[in-house]
Structure 1
Amino acid sequence: MLFKRKNPYYNPAKAHHTPYGFSNLEPTVIKQLEVWRWSWERHRQHLPKPPQHGYELFARNWYQTPDFTLSGNRLWWISHATLLLRLQNCMIITDPVFSQRVSPVTFAGPKRRTQPAASIAQLPPIDVIVLSHNHYDHLDKTSIRQLAARFPAITAVVPLGLKNILQKLGINNIVELDWWEQVSIKNIQFHAVPAHHWSQRGIIDRNHSLWCGWIMQTTQGSSTYFSGDTGFSEIMFRQIAEHFAPIDMAAIQIGAYAPRWFMHNQHIDPQQAVTIFKMLQCRQAIGIHWGAFELADESLDEPPQLLATACAQQQLAPGRFESIKMGASRIIPA
């Protein structure tokens, strides 16, 4: 049991708990040989390729200045998995990442290809940070510190195992939740729901903390789904649908999916995203987790193209599941 730390949250009655961490409902193992194979093939094939018309034009075409004065329940896409949500009078930010790299160090690792639609200094007052898991492109220490400094009363809602790291970053109000648990903050119900993924920030901490998606419900009955990172699991999404469908607004991952032989256990592709949209009976959705960082082998401009194709193939009406510009917003249906 060398290097294994006992899980302080362990509950043997819960299938996703293990004595030393957490697992998926349908357990998967990422083998080191597969990681090496992917890295070698990526290097040999010079992947990912740049966007068709280059990085600069791509960044210009997929950006607009956000208008935070717009009223009503609303979603703004800031960048990657960072969303700003207004639900009733509660302002929520998901997986805030504003740094130039998503890496343990500032001089190496995936670098930002497009800038966030707004800086932390430009954000309106934030009430709640929602985190899906601890990977560097979702939990960014610098961004959390800056948010804690600007909004001292902010509350963080996180999956099990992330409280200690956030306390060290200056967050005083933290709620940890297991799958299927919930908390009410400013009259919004935050429900932690399963995701098919994993966690790790160091060499020996794999799956020590939990990962999840989120359902946020208003007192008016509106529901918003934030997928975080997830692979596809029919069992899991049917369970979420049984509890929460229909969903009024969803932000579903559509990027970091190639090659499928390696990524399928951890990230969905656009075709699966549309399948999830239909399983959850979503009224409307946007695609997230693309366009900012080159985390997999597809080009930055491929996910919206494949999403449009998948929507047409699965006969979704135009505009129901969209790729929007960073900085753009959508009304959350009541």
Structure 2
Amino acid sequence: MRDQTSAPAAAPRRPPQPPGTAPRPGSRPAPRPLGERRLWPRSFADRLTTPMPGLRAYARLAREGAFRPGPDGLRGIPDLPCAPAPLPVLAPGTSCVTWAGHASWVVRTGGLTVLTDPVWSRRILATPARMTPVGVPWEDLPPVDAVVISHNHYDHLDAPTLRRLPRHTPLFVPAGLGRWCRRRGFARVTELDWWEAAELDGVRFDFVPAHHWSKRTLLDTCRSLWGGWILTDTRSPAPHRLYFAGDTGYGHWFAEIGRRHPGIDLALLPIGAYAPRWWLRDVHADPEEAVQACIDVGARRMAPMHWGTFVLSAEPVTEPLERVRAAWDRAGLSRDDLWDLPIGASRCW
């Protein structure tokens, strides 16, 4: 998102590989111990795929004033798809995703209920109130077995929502974010670097790269890492594998993720918060790029997210859905494999 953040404007550069020996494509690094305490670099700025914006970029943004959609773009708010429904009952060996809104999903796989980037608050810092209600009332959630966080921006790491969770809830977070979580009383926090993994009760959590950045205050730019998550039910004879991309621009990491994690059943990919393009291109994929990212990672299906909840940028609020449907059709992909869910809806496989 663009709260307290912004997108680089310079040309992309390929980042160095993260420290350590990278696994071969398709191989599985040994899982790290749960709750392990580790020392991290003071900064992860060397992982940026583009430089941070300079004064000229900020000056241009201020001149253009393109922070929010115009009146015509906001008129689409009543048409945003929102259809809350009870969570479906799962048959043994079945996985299911339910879109709570923005990047928040209720993922049920391998017998676990996992929340991704849970934001149940009506408001987040420096952003208008949400346009659509949360798709799953908090009281209707089953017991939460784990939470994954992609990065520390306010629309992905919401302290009021996390306070609702028991402090023994396992949290899987990017490198450098553990201290923030432990200061809030969470006792089972696992921090991972890119290409590292941990396991909980038969579900494997792999942390993978993204084209983004981190910042929560004026003094912590890139002090913690950012990325996406691969969740795999390791106990099933035919393991279910889900990719949650978090927040990301388009780039070379998608193909690499697909090589190292073949057989992704479903990719949860962001399609919103992309305008003006010159400002957000490097850190927020647009709908066409999200479809290409799905192809790059080799996912069988795609579920769009990161749109229709908060007004974060200048595109019309219904445009992301219209464009992703058109891009999917142009790519010649099966319409049944685009899970463009209303907020609150579920899909199982």
TM-score (norm 2): 0.83
Separation in 2 of the partners of 1:120 and 1:167? 23
Please name the residue that 1:89 is paired with. 111
Separation in 2 of the partners of 1:90 and 1:206? 33
1:29 aligns with 2:52: yes
Please name the residue that 1:263 is paired with. 280
Equivalent residues of 1:28, 1:265 under 8 A apart: no
1:315 partner letter: G
Separation in 2 of the partners of 1:311 and 1:77? 20
Following superposition, the deviation at residue 319 of structure 1 comes to 2.3
- In structure 2, the residue corresponding to 1:296 is in which secondary structure? coil
1:122 aligns with 2:140: yes
Please name the residue that 1:101 is paired with. 123
Following superposition, the deviation at residue 25 of structure 1 comes to 5.9
Structure 1 segment 148-297 matched on structure 2, within 5 A: 148=166, 152-219=167-234, 220=236, 221-234=239-252, 236-297=253-314
1:147 aligns with 2:159: no
- In structure 2, the residue corresponding to 1:322 is in which secondary structure? coil
Gaps of 5+ in 1: 1-10
Equivalent residues of 1:228, 1:252 under 8 A apart: yes
Report percent identity of matched pairs.
Answer: 33
Deviation digits for residues 151-173 of structure 1 (CA, Å, limit 9, x no counterpart)? x4310000011111112223221
Please name the residue that 1:3 is paired with. none
Please name the residue that 2:30 is paired with. none
Separation in 2 of the partners of 1:186 and 1:49? 49
- In structure 2, the residue corresponding to 1:192 is in which secondary structure? strand
Deviation digits for residues 27-85 of structure 1 (CA, Å, limit 9, x no counterpart)? 43222432342244235x96344557542x224xx111232242131000000000000
1:140 partner letter: D
Equivalent residues of 2:18, 2:194 under 8 A apart: no
Following superposition, the deviation at residue 24 of structure 1 comes to 3.0
Equivalent residues of 1:48, 1:294 under 8 A apart: no
1:58 aligns with 2:73: no
Taking structure 1 as reference, are residues 237 and 275 closer, same or farther at Cα in structure 2, changes over 3 Å only? same
Please name the residue that 2:24 is paired with. none
- In structure 1, the residue corresponding to 2:65 is in which secondary structure? helix
Root mean square deviation, CA, Å: 2.2
Structure number with greater CO (CA < 8 Å, separation at least 6) is 2
Equivalent residues of 2:127, 2:311 under 8 A apart: no
Q: Report the count of equivalent residues.
A: 309
